[in-house]
Amino acid sequence: MPRTRTESRSSRRQSAREARNAVYRQLIFEAAERTFAEKGVEDSKMEEIAAEAGLALGTLYNVFSGKAKLVVEIHETRMREAVTGIDALTRSTREPAQALMSGIEGYVRFFASHPDYLRMHLRQGYAWGLAGSQPSPAHEAAFGAGIAAQETLFERGMAAGVFHPGRPRVMARLLVAMQQVQLADWVEEGMQRDPADLVSEMQIQARRTFCRNPDCRDLEKD
Amino acid sequence: MPRTRTESRSSRRQSAREARNAVYRQLIFEAAERTFAEKGVEDSKMEEIAAEAGLALGTLYNVFSGKAKLVVEIHETRMREAVTGIDALTRSTREPAQALMSGIEGYVRFFASHPDYLRMHLRQGYAWGLAGSQPSPAHEAAFGAGIAAQETLFERGMAAGVFHPGRPRVMARLLVAMQQVQLADWVEEGMQRDPADLVSEMQIQARRTFCRNPDCRDLEKD
Amino acid sequence: MPRTRTESRSSRRQSAREARNAVYRQLIFEAAERTFAEKGVEDSKMEEIAAEAGLALGTLYNVFSGKAKLVVEIHETRMREAVTGIDALTRSTREPAQALMSGIEGYVRFFASHPDYLRMHLRQGYAWGLAGSQPSPAHEAAFGAGIAAQETLFERGMAAGVFHPGRPRVMARLLVAMQQVQLADWVEEGMQRDPADLVSEMQIQARRTFCRNPDCRDLEKD
Amino acid sequence: MPRTRTESRSSRRQSAREARNAVYRQLIFEAAERTFAEKGVEDSKMEEIAAEAGLALGTLYNVFSGKAKLVVEIHETRMREAVTGIDALTRSTREPAQALMSGIEGYVRFFASHPDYLRMHLRQGYAWGLAGSQPSPAHEAAFGAGIAAQETLFERGMAAGVFHPGRPRVMARLLVAMQQVQLADWVEEGMQRDPADLVSEMQIQARRTFCRNPDCRDLEKD
DNA sequence: GATGAATGAGCCTTCATTCAT
DNA sequence: GATGAATGAAGGCTCATTCAT
């Protein structure tokens, strides 16, 4: 059965190729993230990223079609991860205020465990949804998705009378902005402080800003 | 007295030159601001800016010594204007909460009357003080100065027990972040909404976030 | 006689124009010479020259058609002066060795009284007649004319058996090179030394290099 | 031992890269030298040099960091070669007059075998040490070092009473100037003449100019 | 498939020259 | 006629991307 053998050999090859490719993707992804975090996207040269990944420039281009694509990929991947992680925490809790608290926790946890992406994210400076702004359209798009998820939460919370009224999209961005400020400060201070601490502080602040009953005694009890 | 005549001619020339130069400065300044707002600093070519100003490239360089200087100039000028304007409103009011309200009003008014700079400012994305970040050192420096001014206000307010306790620097950045979110939304919606409206909404939000007595009945009475 | 009056007025105008033009020529000429001496032709900007002359840039261009022309003009004028001056000293003396001595004296005197042109001349570095060399074709051409005059002298001297045999053109250039070295040193030392001293030293050297009877006792007696 | 194989492959690559780099350096060096010789440094465009070398502009910049560096490199390399070559000939002979003769031979031989550099060198026109002159600081520095070496020779020769007294630095420059004149003439005449001839002529001239006993019968006997 | 040397389009900036006032 | 502001052509250099080995 030479045919079968051939097929199997080719499929073995196929999967070997895919495996190797996945490894490269990861190496490059992380190298790029680190480099972008350190020097900014603009000042990071493709060659530096390849060197950081320990690969040849050509190999980098075999996996990612260009610098722009690399940036997009990072933002999309990380944001998908963030949204997924936050959703996992949030989905179980129906109560809006509680969900908000969980969301903050998820948000902080995600970035605390991805400090390179955090720095890259902060460095891009989020243009707060300003359509057409493109410090990085990729960042914009990926991040926008995450914000959309929060909008729903705010809609629900307002409908339930738990949150102060307002435009959900703006509220969502406001939340994100507050989180960025705190995370930026955390990075600036050397990431020494316990993230759980950060979470508490941010939760209190968020309650003040968004909840009609900021004390939320029932929430605390949980 | 031909001498006097000569002198007067030369001084007339001098002032004519200065006047024309000032006009060019303004033309270029605004053209650059518009272009930077539209396409970002990186993607704006000096030639485009010159064209936008209706001047030759060389003329642009006769007034501004280079692209970097142009960016710095814009940030410094606008930020000085902003700080000056806000200070004027704030200085008269000693009461911290009241000063906060005035500050917000000044901030919004300033950006509402400089929509191009607002877009440029939002686009650069402020890295929230993240040391080493440099989407633009110029922007960072100019804006940082503005933020520093707010820190004092928060210090006073906390000492007076009017504001919730916290790190003044973080509070100041938080305030700015909130303002940026609102302004970004305003721009995104086409700048239709009355800025006064924006101010009210932001004041309410700021009271919720920063004041221990958010209702501030005494303030409302003013 | 309105016609005559007109004519006379026009001719008065004509001569006034010429006079003014001559003054400008001189002002610009000297300013350029000074500037070229100080910073080199390449690094001298037309605007600097105009400023040095105390005239407007346009006026400079009304008199000299461009930078290149200005350089040519300076070299041609000064070289003509030099040749004229040297000729005046040399023509009277038929005896070749004596004429050589006079030539050196004339050469040094000329440059000693035109220190700016001397520095400019030295700075251009003479390409030693290398045809096609163009640190400045103007310099080349003007200077070449001066050298041609010396060639004749060497031809005569060789024919008379007074000078060592050799190619006249090379001998002439050799003489010039020696003079330049001495003058460069003179400038370098601050032009303190009495030019007459310089002349003596150079004459002795020239006699050694060119004369079959370097002692030239009869010459000394003159 | 795949490791060894890998190492050997990488070291082979390393040396291949170095070899190719050396080839490019040489190609570019010579192309630049030729271009500078032909059109002068100022009028030679980097693109022309790249084309002359048969390489892309970027490749040129991969090897030399810029135009200025290229010029410096050429002068330093060639002058080092010249000084080395001349030293080799001179060092063996202690007797000053003899050393002078050898020096001339070395000088001419060097330039005769590097005609492009000779033209470039002549074209720059050496400003004879005129401080502040900078047709090319690189040239100045490199060439100056060569001249300094000759000064020592003259000092020794004067102390020994072999040479006429004078300022050593001036004597050294004088020697160089004479050599340049002869070489310039040689180039101008199409470099047909046998360099050995040139050497003889220059040696005779140098003896006349510098030696107290120009006939140097003992020298001739060597 | 991996490599990294080679490529060249594109941008900022300077300065000789022009021409409207 | 004098002025000097305005012009824009030209050149050095960078770096994302390609492709021969």
Burial class (CB in 10 A: 0-12, 13-18, 19+), A198: buried
Confidence band, pLDDT 50/70/90 cuts, at residue B132:
very low
DSSP string, D68-99: HHHHHHHHHHHHHHHHHHHHHHHHT--SHHHH
In angstroms, the CA of B74 and the C1' of E14 are apart by: 24
C219 CB closer than 7 A to any strand E atom: no
- Closest nucleotide to residue D70 (Cα to C1')? F12
Q: Which residues of C64-97 are buried (b: 16+ CB within 10 A; e: fewer)?
A: beebeebbbbbbbebbeebbebbeebbeeeebbb
pLDDT value of position B13: 65
More confident call, A28 vs C86: A28
From the list A112, A149, D135, B110, the residue with the least C-alpha distance to C39 is D135
Confidence band, pLDDT 50/70/90 cuts, at residue D88:
confident
Residues A125 and A37 both lie in one domain: no
D30 neighbors D116 (Cβ within 8 angstroms): yes
Cα dihedral value A156, A157, A159, A163, nearest 10: -160
- Cα–Cα distance for residue pair A175/A160, rounded to 1 Å: 19
Confidence band, pLDDT 50/70/90 cuts, at residue D94:
confident
More confident call, A81 vs A126: A81
Helices (H), C56-136: 57-63, 67-91, 96-112, 115-124
- Closest nucleotide to residue C68 (Cα to C1')? E16
Residue with CA nearest to E15's C1' atom: C45
Q: Residue D27: which residues within 8 A CB-CB, separation 6 or more? A: D53, D54, D55
In angstroms, the CA of B77 and the C1' of F21 are apart by: 56
Q: Within window 21-40 on C, which residues have Cβ closer than 7 Å to strand F?
A: 24
Both tokens assigned to D117: 């550099």
D-chain residues within 8 Å CB-CB of C166?
201
Of A65, A92, A120, the domain-final residue: A65
Q: Report phi then psi at B141, rounded to 5.
A: -65, -50
Amino acid present at B28: I
The dihedral through the CA atoms of B97, B98, B99, B103 has a sign that is positive
CB contact under 8 A, A205 and B170: no
B61 CB closer than 7 A to any strand E atom: yes
Residue with CA nearest to E13's C1' atom: B66
Choose from D34, D116, D128 for mutation: most chain C CBs within 10 A. Answer: D128
Q: Which residues of C164-200 are buried (b: 16+ CB within 10 A; e: fewer)?
A: bebbbbbbbbbbbbbbbbbbbbbbbeeeeeebeebbe
Residues D49 and D82 both lie in one domain: no
CB contact under 8 A, C177 and D181: yes
Of D24, D44, D65, the domain-final residue: D65
Residues D4 and D82 both lie in one domain: no
- Cα–Cα distance for residue pair A3/A9, rounded to 1 Å: 10
Residue with CA nearest to E2's C1' atom: A59
Burial class (CB in 10 A: 0-12, 13-18, 19+), B61: middle
The percent helix, strand, coil of chain C (3-state, each to 5) is 80, 0, 20
Distance of CA D21 to the CA centre of its chain: 24
Residues C25 and C73 both lie in one domain: no
Which residues share a beta bridge with D163? D211
C45 CB closer than 7 A to any strand F atom: no
Domain tally, chain B: 2
Mapping DSSP to helix (H, G, I), strand (E, B) and coil, where does residue B193 land? coil
pLDDT value of position A7: 63
D-chain residues within 8 Å CB-CB of C151?
none
- Cα–Cα distance for residue pair C59/C63, rounded to 1 Å: 7
Chain F nucleotides close to protein (CB under 7 A) are 1-9, 11-20
A56 CB closer than 7 A to any strand F atom: no
Residues C54 and C92 both lie in one domain: no
In angstroms, the CA of D116 and the C1' of E8 are apart by: 29
pLDDT value of position D3: 47
D40 CB closer than 7 A to any strand F atom: no
pLDDT value of position C149: 79
CA distances, D126 to each of C116, C123, D133, D167 (Å) = 18, 8, 9, 19
B83 neighbors B91 (Cβ within 8 angstroms): no
pLDDT value of position B129: 45
Distance of CA C111 to the CA centre of its chain: 7
- Cα–Cα distance for residue pair B10/B18, rounded to 1 Å: 12
Percent share of chain B, pLDDT over 90: 51
Burial class (CB in 10 A: 0-12, 13-18, 19+), B24: middle
Choose from B75, B116, B133 for mutation: most chain A CBs within 10 A. Answer: B133
Q: What is the mean pLDDT of chain B?
A: 84
Helices (H), B54-94: 57-63, 67-91
Choose from D44, D118, D119, D133 for mutation: most chain C CBs within 10 A. Answer: D133
Q: Residue C147: which residues within 8 A CB-CB, separation 6 or more? A: C129, C169, C172, C173, C176
Residues B35 and B92 both lie in one domain: no
User: pLDDT by residue (tens digit) across B111-121?
Assistant: 999 999 998 88
In angstroms, the CA of C56 and the C1' of F6 are apart by: 15
Residues A6 and A51 both lie in one domain: yes
- Cα–Cα distance for residue pair B214/B193, rounded to 1 Å: 25
Residues B148 and B164 both lie in one domain: yes
CB contact under 8 A, D184 and C134: no
The dihedral through the CA atoms of A93, A94, A95, A99 has a sign that is positive
pLDDT value of position D87: 83
pLDDT value of position D1: 43
More confident call, A135 vs B140: B140
> Which residue among B42, B125, B201 sits closest to A126, beta carbon to beta carbon?
B125
Residues D53 and D91 both lie in one domain: no
Does the pLDDT of residue D193 top 60, yes or no?
Answer: yes
Shortest distance between the Cα of A10 and any Cα of chain B, in A, equals 46
pLDDT value of position C209: 94
Does the pLDDT of residue D112 top 80, yes or no?
Answer: yes
- Cα–Cα distance for residue pair C75/C144, rounded to 1 Å: 11
Mapping DSSP to helix (H, G, I), strand (E, B) and coil, where does residue C163 land? strand
B-chain residues within 8 Å CB-CB of A167?
185
- Cα–Cα distance for residue pair A206/D51, rounded to 1 Å: 65
In angstroms, the CA of B58 and the C1' of F9 are apart by: 11
A208 neighbors A214 (Cβ within 8 angstroms): yes
Which residues share a beta bridge with C211? C163
CATH number of B18's domain: 1.10.10.60
Nearest-Cα residue of chain D relative to residue C126: D125
pLDDT value of position C133: 46
Percent share of chain D, pLDDT over 70: 83
CB contact under 8 A, C127 and D184: yes
Residue with CA nearest to F21's C1' atom: D13
CB contact under 8 A, B184 and A129: yes
Q: Which residues of D54-81 are buried (b: 16+ CB within 10 A; e: fewer)?
A: ebeeeebbebbeebeebbbbbbeebbee
Does the pLDDT of residue B193 top 70, yes or no?
Answer: yes
Lowest-pLDDT range, A137-151, B32-46, B168-182, D101-115?
Answer: A137-151
Does the pLDDT of residue C2 top 60, yes or no?
Answer: no
> Which residue among A166, A177, A201 sits closest to B177, beta carbon to beta carbon?
A177
- Cα–Cα distance for residue pair A173/A126, rounded to 1 Å: 10
D67 CB closer than 7 A to any strand F atom: yes
Cα dihedral value C120, C123, C129, C130, nearest 10: -140
Of A48, A65, A82, the domain-final residue: A65
Question: What domain range is A61 assigned to?
Answer: 1-65
C-chain residues within 8 Å CB-CB of D134?
40
Structure letter (DSSP) for residue B164:
P
Name chain A's partners: 3 or more CB pairs within 8 A: B
The dihedral through the CA atoms of A182, A184, A185, A191 has a sign that is positive
B202 CB closer than 7 A to any strand F atom: no
C132 CB closer than 7 A to any strand F atom: no
pLDDT value of position A91: 78
Q: Do chains A and C touch (3 or more CB pairs under 8 A)?
A: no
Mapping DSSP to helix (H, G, I), strand (E, B) and coil, where does residue A162 land? coil
Lowest-pLDDT range, A135-139, A142-146, B37-41, C66-70?
Answer: A135-139
Q: Do chains D and B touch (3 or more CB pairs under 8 A)?
A: no
Mapping DSSP to helix (H, G, I), strand (E, B) and coil, where does residue B43 land? coil
- Host H or E run for residue C175: helix C168-188
CB contact under 8 A, C122 and D133: yes
> Which residue among D42, D123, D205 sits closest to C209, beta carbon to beta carbon?
D205
Q: Residue D5: which residues within 8 A CB-CB, separation 6 or more? A: none
Residue with CA nearest to F3's C1' atom: C56
Confidence band, pLDDT 50/70/90 cuts, at residue A106:
very high
- Cα–Cα distance for residue pair A42/B205, rounded to 1 Å: 36
pLDDT value of position D216: 59
Residues A22 and A127 both lie in one domain: no
Shortest distance between the Cα of B197 and any Cα of chain A, in A, equals 13
D92 CB closer than 7 A to any strand F atom: no
Residues A169 and A59 both lie in one domain: no
Percent share of chain C, pLDDT over 90: 52
CATH number of A172's domain: 1.10.357.10
Shortest distance between the Cα of C99 and any Cα of chain D, in A, equals 19
Residues A104 and A119 both lie in one domain: yes
> Which residue among D134, D177, D183 sits closest to C178, beta carbon to beta carbon?
D177
In angstroms, the CA of B215 and the C1' of F14 are apart by: 58
